Amino acid sequence: MKITQAFTFEAAHRLPHVPDTHRCFRMHGHSYRVELTLEGPVDPATGFVVDFFDVEAAFGPLLQQLDHHCLNEVEGLENPTAEHIAAWIWSRVKPSLPLVALVRVFETPMSWAEYGG
């Protein structure tokens, strides 16, 4: 069984390793969407793979580090591409959510990165 919980946050960033003529070299912001997909058996007693409240509790501290911040200033996100953000989230959420199978980070509704470990 797979379950997915989505979260949103607002943040600014710039991409320091693109040419200075690239529009993402300049500071700008996104309304990000993060989806955490967990995969595992359904517990017969609870009926859950993982309780969504537990997913929310595990991701909450990370969300506080990201929401309304400049991502370049977050330790480990000095080059905050969608790919790096997805891997950053994975490495920090996996210890408390071992069934996480996929982290999806949307920069826009039409552009996203997926990381599965």
Question: Which residues are marked as active site?
Answer: 24, 68, 107
Helix (H, G, I), strand (E, B) or coil at 34: strand
**Identity (one letter) of the amino acid at 115?**
Y
φ/ψ (deg, to 5) at 45 = -75, -45
Sheet holding 100-108, edge to edge: 69-70, 2-13, 28-39, 100-108, 111-115
The answer to whether residues 69 and 11 touch, using CB atoms and an 8 Å cutoff, is yes
CA dist., res. 84 & res. 105, Å (int): 10
